[in-house]
Amino acid sequence: MPLEILQPLDVTTWEGPFTDSLTATASAALESEKILFAPHLSFALSASEHRFLSPDCLDAKSKNVSYRPATGELHGTRYQDNDREELLALLRRYYQKSRAWLTALCPAYLGHLIDGFTSFRPAEIAGRVTSWRKDDTRLHVDAFPSRPVQGFRILRVFTNLNPSAPRVWRVGENFENVASKFLPSIKPPVPGSSWLLHRMRLVKGRRTLYDHYMLGLHDRMKADEQYQARVSQTELSIPPGASWICFTDCISHAAMSGQFACEQTFYLPVDAMREPARSPLRILERLTGRTLV
């Protein structure tokens, strides 16, 4: 695997403690648009939990099962009763392990992280039919149409639960190159549109200028077939049992194939970073000459 994209971590425990040298390396690598890659950090399933390695746990409308730590809710599964409770317990445990790992690796983020959703992805990525906007096999940076982040970073922990097959990603160019290419084609929002979207409950929270431009980058990247084919990119084959962490709002990425993965989302204020100037918010403000939140 290419070391210019990955920061390998020789760790086998989720809780730490880790050395000062390792924690300094981890946060510096994350904020430099690298992926923290722990090939030997697996998330163990019980014998009973192995039955969840099947798309049969999904309901008819969902591609993921999601757990919401703030409320304890579970969405996206057809399971009921004991099966539902056991699946919920699995995702709650993954949330707890992910938070422990991330805060042990990046102790400066402790006290600043906001919990997002925990997801289990039992469906195969390759061959899934969807619209270009929802097609995660196309290179993109993360932005959420209905959940504005208002400048906060999107920091995600992943684990490949598949016992026998890799999870394959593509990683593209750095964020500033992406923004420089596509920003000129993104028009400012229509005056009053942010208020109207919130008023009509089409978004959860106010959509800032930052959210507007990040959604524009996400959509223009995915819609540009020539860009997808020609931009410099690297394939990563992430083996069974490996875990990884990255800021998915700045790393241009695409998930090409794989089945059975867990993912935990966190949000981080820009000012909690070691180097806030490396955030998408500060880069976009510099390129546009505007305050975006």
Residue range 179-233, pLDDT digits in tens = 999 999 999 987 878 877 777 777 888 999 999 999 999 999 999 999 999 999 9
Indicate whether 280 belongs to any domain. Answer: yes
Indicate whether 1 belongs to any domain. Answer: no
Indicate whether 107 belongs to any domain. Answer: yes
Range of the domain at 200: 6-288
What is the per-residue burial (b if ≥16 Cβ within 10 Å, else e) of 244-260? bbbbbbbbbbbbbebbb
- pTM of the full structure: 0.95
Q: How far apart are CA 156 and CA 119, in angstroms?
A: 11
Q: How far apart are CA 159 and CA 224, in angstroms?
A: 30
In the chain, how many domains are there? 1
Indicate whether 238 belongs to any domain. Answer: yes
Indicate whether 31 belongs to any domain. Answer: yes
Indicate whether 293 belongs to any domain. Answer: no
Indicate whether 232 belongs to any domain. Answer: yes
Q: How far apart are CA 44 and CA 25, in angstroms?
A: 26
pLDDT in tens, 117-172: 999 999 999 988 889 888 999 999 999 988 999 999 999 999 999 999 999 999 99
Q: Quick one: how far is CA 216 from the chain centroid?
A: 18
State the DSSP H helix or E strand holding residue 117, giving kind and residue range, or none if neither: strand 114-121
Q: How far apart are CA 95 and CA 263, in angstroms?
A: 9
Residue 164, domain CATH: 2.60.120
Indicate whether 56 belongs to any domain. Answer: yes
Predicted confidence (pLDDT) at residue 1 exceeds the cutoff of 50: no
